[in-house]
Amino acid sequence: MDKLKVMTIFGTRPEAIKMAPLVKELENRPEFESYCCVTAQHRQMLDTVLDIFHITPEFDLDIMEAQQSLSTITCKCLLGLEDVFQQVRPDLVLVHGDTSTTFAGSLAAFYQQIAVGHVEAGLRTGDKYSPFPEEMNRSMVGRLADLHFCPTETNRRNLAREGVVRGVFVTGNTVIDALGTTVRDNFKFTTEVLNKLDYKGKKVIVVTCHRRENYGEPMEQIMTALRRIAIAYEDQVELVYPVHLSPVVQEAARSHLDGLENVHLVDPLTADEMHNLMARSYLVLTDSGGLQEEAPALGKPVLVLRRETERPEAVAAGTVRIAGTNGPDIFDMASELIESPAAYAVMAHAVNPYGDGKACRRIADGILYHFGRTDRPPETFKNR
Ligand code: UD1
Ligand code: UDP
């Protein structure tokens, strides 16, 4: 029987981190002929992930521009992918999550009547504009896709509410598969300042912030709160903030936080550095999606710098709280976790609602099942 031609498509840092273990799984299974196409919606932040996971894409659209617009990304991806699909004619295209690459990848495949598999399917806030444009991206991919790999049962239910019930598998999130390969006790950082931090004597707080819906006033509020935290707890706290390369974010972070001794504004970290930093940290403040999944698995409390989340599982488990984007609220919630060991202990316990490290295997099994190569459906991931 012919091998199944499966093409993974991704373009940004988080997609790459979460697709990397799946690329490896497909490469290692004899049933698949695996192709990888990157749009390079991100450039440097994508390339470091490709390096760490030793992935050499067969196709690289190299689309990134400084301060690119959503339309530019989408158009460049659509045109570039048309060409790639004509060359390879894959049996299945796999896209991930909710970026513009994800949406354009599934639309380009649909235009050529190529089946689409959506990895990390079914996340929803129900608010069209938050996160923006991700909520609509993932909803539209939900309509275009033939296979839906949901991390959790909650995600499956979200799809069912929209009438999507065929080709749906609950697999766990591939990010937990990735995390299993990066965290090590004896890890040495290439970002030298991270080797010198006093992780036992100080409370090391990891910060990230980049979302488009936070641009403007919300980001001002967040940066002001971070500055207040650094100053109020200058003897106890070290803030480590790897600043996203977006010029909007660079400007917001540097204008508020430059020059504070206990704030370390560093370049984006490689994925293994980031995972090992979180593993050694006290607390995570973030508007990132991926960090909300990784930190709970590492037993680290998270305050989410957004008004809502599409990842309610860790909130229910008590390790993640929504802090919002109002500066004084963020300051108060962080203060409580810095000052009160009891409040901290309530949140700081390892839970893993997002996966058990076997998501990629289940996704590969689900593909084989869908194409009639096996009679056995993949086992369902169950949140313990
Ligand atoms: C994108 C995704 C978002 C995801 C985020 C992960 C969309 C619409 N947004 O947002 O869902 O959470 O990635 O980080 O798909 N830049 C560089 N080098 C890089 C990466 C970015 O210089 O390696 C700069 C460029 O000026 C670029 C800008 O950052 O134009 C913004 O990048 P873009 O992909 O458009 O948006 P993100 O905010 O990164
Ligand atoms: N990450 C990283 N280096 C950094 C910041 C984040 O490798 O400097 C990783 C993080 O561990 C997670 C992913 O990038 O796996 C999250 O990506 P991001 O926050 O850019 O996007 P989101 O998850 O919000 O879509």
Q: Rounded mean pLDDT of 93-102?
A: 98
Q: What is the pLDDT of residue 1?
A: 83
Q: What is the pLDDT of residue 154?
A: 97
How far is residue 189's CA from residue 187's CA, in Å, rounded to a whole number? Answer: 7
Q: Which amino acid is residue 262, in one-letter code?
A: N
Mean pLDDT of the chain: 97
pLDDT band at 188 (very low <50, low <70, confident <90, very high): very high
Report the separation in Å between the CA atom of 39 and the middle of ligand 1, taken as the mean of its atom positions.
12
Structure-block tokens of residue 344 = 């901290």
Q: Rounded mean pLDDT of 174-188?
A: 94
What pLDDT digit, counting tens, does each position of 145-167 carry? Answer: 999 999 999 999 999 999 999 99
pLDDT band at 206 (very low <50, low <70, confident <90, very high): very high
Token match 């390892």: residue? 350
Pocket probe mutation, ligand 2, options 274, 277, 280, max atoms within 8 Å of Cβ: 274
Report the separation in Å between the CA atom of 287 and the middle of ligand 2, taken as the mean of its atom positions.
10
DSSP state of 130: S
Closest CA to 360 of 183, 181, 179, 171: 171
242 CB within 6 A, ligand 2: yes
How far is residue 74's CA from residue 95's CA, in Å, rounded to a whole number? Answer: 14
C-alpha distances out from residue 310 to 120, 164, 205, 212, Å: 12, 18, 23, 16
> Does the global pTM surpass 0.75?
yes
How far is residue 91's CA from residue 88's CA, in Å, rounded to a whole number? Answer: 9
Q: Of all atoms in ligand 2, which is nearest to the CA of residue 48?
A: 7
Catalytic residues: 98, 120, 134, 210, 212, 244
Q: What is the pLDDT of residue 349?
A: 87
Residue nearest to atom 13 of ligand 1 (CA): 12
What pLDDT digit, counting tens, does each position of 253-285 carry? Answer: 999 999 999 999 999 999 999 999 999 999 999
Does the structure show a pLDDT above 80 at 384? Answer: no
Report the separation in Å between the CA atom of 271 and the middle of ligand 2, taken as the mean of its atom positions.
7
E-strand ranges in 110-236 read: 115-119, 147-150, 168-170, 203-208
Closest CA to 117 of 378, 371, 288, 375: 371
What pLDDT digit, counting tens, does each position of 41-94 carry? Answer: 999 999 999 999 999 999 999 999 999 999 999 999 999 999 999 999 999 999
